[in-house]
Amino acid sequence: MCGIAGLIHRGKSSNVGSELQGMLQALKHRGEDSTGYALYGDTDGKNFIMRFKVGENVGEGSSSVMEDVSVYDERKKIVDQTLSEMGAKIIKEERTLPYSLRYEVDYETKDLLDFSQRIESIPGVEILSMGKSLEVIKDLGNAKMVCDRYSLDKLVGTHAIGHARMATESGVDIKSAHPFWGYPFSDVSVVHNGQLTNYWNNRRVLENKGMRFMSECDSELIAVYIAQKMREGASLEEGMKDSLTGLDGVFTYFVATKDSLGMAKDTMAAKPLVLYESDDLVAMGSEEIAIRSVLPHEIDTYDPFDGEVKVWQI
């Protein structure tokens, strides 16, 4: 089933980590195999924030293999060495969990394709997000468990999207969890509720164009599809509108960039979405109870129609 939620504050910052946790926790009945956050925090914008993993969280139902922490240590060393070779300087390093790391990196080159390919050529290493503002955090368990594990409740920023996952078509692991980074674009993330039926056809085409897939989760296709459209010169909104015909299946998805948040709904309107929009806040989720967790008073909400695409700026 899965649940998605997102919010964007316009003209101000807020405690988006805590707010999104409340929204996703309200949707936990839609799935709590894994939960993911894409948070756009307030930063000075000088350095890249790289969230990456050097192993998997192997819980009940996971399709991944348990590895020794010493393996993670070894992979981390190779990542550090590769970064050094590419001229990327680690400014700050946090190891939240044995397999999950957050680096602030001083890296001048804007081509993240080559950067990502070299880092991810290290076996078992995946970049979860790369951006000047974006941080993707995802792990097994419900929203509160992940929030507590990564201390997300104090994160201040302008906007965020998140996903509560019931695994259906791929494994219960971090690599199949949402959000997906819009590789190789800085600060682009995607969450999705639905099923895509032309995943393999699109994947083959996109891989031939040099794009990478880290999982076999159909939702990852949306991130890669939009990223490819943007590589070809389309705006975010144009790429999203194109996806209504380019992607087959049922879907409601959100895309976020450094300064915007968008939603798209397929032409069958088969997946739910409730939206609240005011001058200073847009909040949306698979169910109204998600919005109620941040706006408990009576508000006007509505369901976007079939084939609708909307984008908001901060």
Partner 1 sequence: MANIKTSEKKSKAQSMGMHTEVLTGRTQQKFFNPDEAENFYYFGTYDVDFNKRTDLDVMNMSAPEANKEIDNLMSQGYGTIVIKNPQGKHSLGVGILNKLNLIFEGSLGYFGMGSCDGPIVRINGRVGWSCAENLMAGKVVIEKNAGSCFGAAIRGGDLICKGSVGARTGIDMKGGTIIIGGDAGAFTGFMMQRGRIIILGDVGINLGDSMYDGTIFVGGEIGSYGSDAVDAELTSSDQDWLRRKLKVAEIGEDFDVSKMKKIVAGKKLWNYDNLEPTEKKGAI
Which pair of structure tokens corresponds to residue 225?
């599809």
Looking at beta carbons only, is 113 or 250 nearer to partner 1? 250
Nearer to partner 1, 230 or 269 (CB): 269
Kindly name the residue from 2, 240, 283, 291 that is annotated as catalytic.
2
Smallest distance, Å, CB 1 to partner 1?
12
Active site residue 217: no
Contacts of 178 (CB under 8 A, 6+ apart): 2, 4, 34, 36, 138, 163, 165, 190, 191, 192, 217, 219
257 beta partners: none
CB 3 within 8 A of CB 287: yes
User: Distance between CA 134 and CA 60 in Å, rounded?
Assistant: 29
User: Within 13 Å of residue 144, how many CA atoms lie on the same side as its CB?
Assistant: 6
302 lines the binding site for partner 1 (CB under 8 A): yes
Q: 95 to 154, contacts with partner 1 by CB under 8 A? A: none
Which phi and psi angles does 224 have, rounded to 5°?
A: -70, -40
Under the binding rule (CB under 8 A), the answer on residue 274 touching partner 1 is: yes
Assess 303 for contact with partner 1 (CB under 8 A).
Answer: yes
Using rule CB under 8 A, residue 305 touches partner 1: yes
- Binds partner 1 (CB under 8 A): choice among 80, 272, 310, 314: 272
Residue 211's closest CA among 182, 188, 243?
Answer: 182
Judged by CB under 8 A, how many residues of this single chain contact partner 1?
20
For partner 1, the closer of residues 60 and 300 by Cβ is: 300
10 Å CB burial of residue 183 (0-12, 13-18, 19+) is: buried
Query: Can you tell me which of 84, 210, 268, 278 binds partner 1, judged by CB under 8 A?
Result: 268
| Of the candidate residues 230, 270, 311, 314, the single one contacting partner 1 (CB under 8 A) | 270
Supply the minimum distance, in Å, between the C-beta of residue 256 and partner 1. Answer: 24
Is 86 or 269 the residue whose CB approaches partner 1 more closely? 269
Min CB(70)–partner 1 separation in Å: 47
State which of positions 282-301 bind partner 1 (CB under 8 A). 287-289, 291-292, 296, 298, 300-301
DSSP 152-216: -TT--EEEEEEEEE--SSS-SSTTTSSPEE-TTSTT-EEEEEEEESSHHHHHHHHHHTT----S-
Q: Measured from the CB atom, is 141 or 307 closer to partner 1?
A: 307
- Give SS3 for 301: coil
Asked if 267 is part of the footprint of partner 1 (rule: CB under 8 A), the reply reads yes
Q: How far is CA 90 from CA 39, 87, 100, 106, 183, in A?
A: 21, 10, 16, 6, 21
CB 16 within 8 A of CB 9: yes
Pick one of 230, 269, 311, 314: the residue that binds partner 1 (CB under 8 A): 269
- Chain positions 46 to 75 lying near partner 1, rule: CB under 8 A, are none
Give the span between the Cα atoms of 108 and 64, in whole angstroms: 35
The nearer residue to partner 1, 223 or 264, going by C-beta atoms, is 264
- How far apart, in whole angstroms, are the C-alpha atoms of residue 52 and residue 157? 20
Binding segment for partner 1 (CB under 8 A), chosen from 42-50, 81-89, 200-208, 302-310, is 302-310
CB of 27 to partner 1, least distance (A): 11
- Rounded to whole angstroms, the Cα distance separating 141 from 149 reads 10
What residues line the site for partner 1 (CB under 8 A)?
A: 267-270, 272, 274, 287-289, 291-292, 296, 298, 300-303, 305-307
Catalytic (active-site) positions? 2
